[in-house]
Structure formats: C-alpha cells, structure tokens
C-alpha cells in the first residue's frame, strides 16, 4: 500500500532539473546577461518540485535569484501552457501594485532553450501546501485567510481597461463555456461510469449561473499558489496565472471556496482540504468568509452560491478525470497520478449534492 503523501515535503523547494526538462544553460546565461540589468554570471539552475504544468526553475546568480517558467518540451495542445499570457497578466498586475513577482522578460525565440519562457524575480517566503496551515498560531492563520479573501476582492476590482487587459478574454458566457469544455474533456478521458457526472452534465448547461460581472479571474486561486511572508501573515506574491482570463469573478471566488468541502484524500494526492480541520483556531466558517468577500466587493450576497459550487466541483472532477485518462493512455508525468482515480467520484458526489441544494 502506498504511504500517504507528506504534501509539504513532496512539493516544497527545488530539486535537480529533470532529464526531460534540461536545456542549454550556457545559452540562457548569454541571453539573460545582456537583457536583465544586474544579471551577473555564473548561474546555477534548480527545478521547483511543485507546480509543474509549466516547468519552473530557480536561477541563482551571485547577485540575485530569478524564476523561469517555460512551456514544456514536446507536442502541446494549441492553447495550453500559454506562458505569454502568464507574463502579460503578471506584468499588468505588477504595474497595478498587486502582489506578484516583478517580471523581467518574455522570450518567444525557441532557439534559446527550446521553448518560449519568461523570467521574473524569485520571491522568498513560505508556501503552505495544506490549506489549514499546520504549525502556525490561530491568530496568524486567521490573518492569512483574511489576506486571501482581500486579494480575491482586490483582483476582481481591477479596472481591466486601465490595466491594459480589456482584450484578455471573452467574458460573456464564461461559466457556460467552461461547462461545455469540461464535459467534452470528461467524456474523452472517461474510464468508468460515474452516475453523478452524467446527471451533472445533463443539469448544468441549463442551470449555468452568471453574476453579470466581468473581471480578471485567476482560475486556480489557492493558498498553495501564494507565497506568504516569512514572518508576517501577508501575501508577497501570487503564482500560477496559467488559467487567468476575463470571466465571472463569482465563479473564481467560489472555486477558492472548494477547500471547505474538498473530499480529503487518504493518499494525500489531489488538492488540500479543510475537512476535519474546520474547528482549528483561525479557520473561518464558510458563511463568514463569503460575507467578508461580499462586504469588500459591495455585494449584498451571492444568490447562486450552490450552483456555482456544483459547477466548480464538477469542473475539478473533470480535470482530475483528465489526469486519470493520461494514466490510461500512458502519458501521465506524475508518478502518483493513478491515485487521483479514487477522487473523481467523491468530488462528483459533492457537486451533485450542491446541485440538489440548488434545485436539481
């Protein structure tokens, strides 16, 4: 039997660069030393353990450390791994004063390291891979939750015109398009019949919620995509903007709420859960957390909360089923990917539970 994963140990820090992700470090050094002021060779390269949709590297020089994010090598889906979009949104938000790493350059010349990439500052701090943040005080835990909530409200209030992001996506029909996309992806990767997923795919298209609001959305906002200051409960940088676009901010916020109902994994695979830790000092009740967000955004409530949560759990179940499909096809990169299979059905059950609460 596989031992439960220690998520903090599994995903924290760096490792030697994986064989499949190596590149010509000398060519990169020559390129960067003429384009980043103060970049001083020699340079050493390490690879981050976590967040490997786009391989991510730490570049260490005598004067500073940087982070490089690149497209993976090999054949890719046409719209996937869009590091140019990541760079664009980070550059725009940095100019707006939001907590993101300072960007330096985007390189679309594949002759340098074999794929497109961008470079930004390395931001030191803490990454918590469990949403209940073991090992800190209740007061600090409460303050970090407040930071997360405030960041979402601030992100969703960014003026997309002044940020230069008015053409960053097609906001209308965002949730409906997501439902259609992930239904197709689920069917393509399906390995067993899951009745709750079939019921959700029948119900969700007609129930598709829309707040009527348009904002920049992160698409994958979780605690483990944030760097928290080493000594203070403050976000120093938000990472992983691969799924960012224009869309419905309530869909984005309710994705963030999933941690309160995420089915826990015996193996530690998947994403973290607050289930079993709700009574830890500093963990807010879901209802209070929603009320805080609404207050900061000037909203009276979130009318279709259950429908949004049904959609988000369905979407996540379909994403996980895609990983299971890659195991079936022999293309999964993560050695523990097979453990995801047991999480799809429980997640679909949570989604259907919310759908029933919404009237399904």
CATH code, 177: 3.90.1200.10
Instruction: Say if residue 76 is in the same domain as residue 224.
Output: no
Kindly state whether residue 126 falls inside one of the protein's structural domains.
no
Residue 132 included in any domain: no
The answer on 300 and 165 residing in a single domain is: yes
- Residue 133: which residues within 8 A CB-CB, separation 6 or more? 140, 141, 144, 223
Examine residue 1 and state whether it is found in any structural domain, yes or no.
no
The string over 193-225, giving b where at least 16 C-beta atoms fall within 10 Å of a residue's C-beta and e elsewhere, is ebebbebbbebbeebbbbbeebbbbbbbbbbbb
Domain assignment of residue 2, yes or no: no
Of 121, 149, 171, the last residue of a domain is: 121
> Looking at the domain assignment, is residue 159 inside a domain?
yes
pLDDT in tens, 203-262: 999 999 999 999 999 999 999 999 999 999 999 999 999 889 999 999 999 999 999 999
Chain-centroid distance of CA 72 in Å reads: 17
Q: Which of 6-20, 110-124, 176-190, 276-290 has the lowest mean pLDDT?
A: 6-20
Q: Answer yes or no: is pLDDT of 52 > 70.
A: no
Asked if 236 and 268 touch (Cβ cutoff 8 Å), the reply is no
Residue where a domain terminates, one of 121, 150, 185: 121
Q: Rounded to an integer, what distance in angstroms lies between the CA atom of residue 164 and that of residue 198?
A: 40
Specify the length of the chain in residues: 360
Assess whether 106 and 251 both reside in one domain.
no
pLDDT value of residue 342: 86
199 and 313, same domain (yes or no): yes
**CA proximity to 57, closest of 48, 249, 235:** 48
**In a shared domain, residues 14 and 145:** no
Structure confidence by residue, pLDDT tens digits, 175-205: 999 999 999 989 988 989 999 999 999 999 9
The predicted pLDDT at position 53 comes to 66
The average pLDDT across 79-104 equals 92
The dihedral region occupied by 114, where left means phi > 0, alpha psi between -120 and 50, and beta the remainder, is left
What pLDDT shows up at residue 267? 72
For residues 154 and 63, membership in a common domain is answered with no
Q: Can you give the CATH number for the domain in which 47 is found?
A: 3.30.200.20
287 within some domain: yes
Residue with the bigger pLDDT between 29 and 268: it is 29
Range of the domain at 236: 138-357
Domain count, the chain: 2
**CA 247 vs CA 147, 176, 322: distances in Å:** 22, 11, 23
Q: Are residues 238 and 162 in the same domain?
A: yes
Same domain, 193 and 87: no
Q: Return the DSSP state at 120.
A: E
Calculate the CA 108 to chain-centre distance.
23
Q: Are residues 220 and 334 in the same domain?
A: yes
Question: What mean pLDDT is predicted for residues 70-97?
Answer: 81
Q: In angstroms, rounded to a whole number, what is the distance separating the alpha carbons of residues 118 and 105?
A: 6
Mean pLDDT of 323-334: 69
Q: Are 90 and 162 in a shared domain?
A: no
Q: Are residues 311 and 195 in the same domain?
A: yes
For the stretch 279-317, pLDDT in tens is 999 999 999 999 999 999 999 999 999 999 999 999 999
148 and 109 in one domain?
no
pLDDT of residue 4: 64
């Amino acid at each position: 039997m596989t031992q439960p994963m220690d998520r903090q140990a599994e995903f924290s820090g760096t490792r030697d660069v994986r064989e499949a992700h190596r590149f010509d470090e000398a060519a990169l050094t020559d390129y960067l030393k003429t384009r980043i002021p103060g970049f001083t060779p020699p340079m050493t390269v390490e690879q981050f353990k976590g967040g490997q949709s786009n391989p991510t590297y730490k570049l260490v020089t005598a004067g500073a450390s940087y982070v490089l994010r690149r497209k993976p090598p090999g054949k890719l889906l046409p719209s996937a791994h869009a590091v140019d979009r990541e760079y664009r949104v980070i550059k725009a938000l940095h100019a707006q004063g939001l907590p993101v790493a300072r960007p330096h350059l985007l390189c679309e010349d594949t002759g340098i390291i074999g794929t497109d990439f961008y470079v930004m500052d390395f931001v030191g701090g803490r990454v918590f891979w469990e949403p209940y943040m073991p090992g800190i005080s209740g007061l600090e835990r409460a303050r970090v939750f407040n930071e997360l909530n405030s960041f979402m409200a601030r992100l969703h209030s960014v003026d997309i015109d002044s940020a230069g992001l008015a053409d960053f996506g097609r906001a209308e029909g965002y949730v409906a398009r997501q439902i259609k996309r992930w239904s197709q992806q689920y069917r393509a990767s399906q390995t067993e019949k899951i009745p709750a997923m079939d019921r959700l795919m029948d119900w969700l298209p007609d129930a598709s919620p829309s707040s009527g609001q348009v904002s920049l959305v992160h698409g994958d906002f979780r605690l483990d995509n944030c760097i928290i200051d080493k000594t203070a409960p403050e976000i120093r940088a938000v990472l992983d903007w691969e799924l960012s676009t224009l869309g419905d901010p309530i869909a984005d916020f309710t994705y963030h709420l999933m941690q309160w109902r995420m089915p826990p994994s015996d193996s530690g695979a998947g994403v973290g859960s607050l289930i079993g830790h709700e009574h830890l000092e500093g963990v807010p009740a879901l209802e209070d957390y929603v009320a805080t967000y609404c207050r900061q955004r000037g909203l009276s409530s979130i009318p279709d909360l259950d429908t949004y949560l049904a959609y988000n759990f369905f979407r996540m179940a379909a994403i996980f089923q895609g990983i299971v499909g890659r195991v079936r096809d022999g293309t999964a990169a993560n050695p523990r990917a097979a453990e995801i299979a047991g999480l799809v059905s429980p997640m679909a059950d949570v989604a259907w539970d919310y759908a029933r609460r919404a009237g399904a």
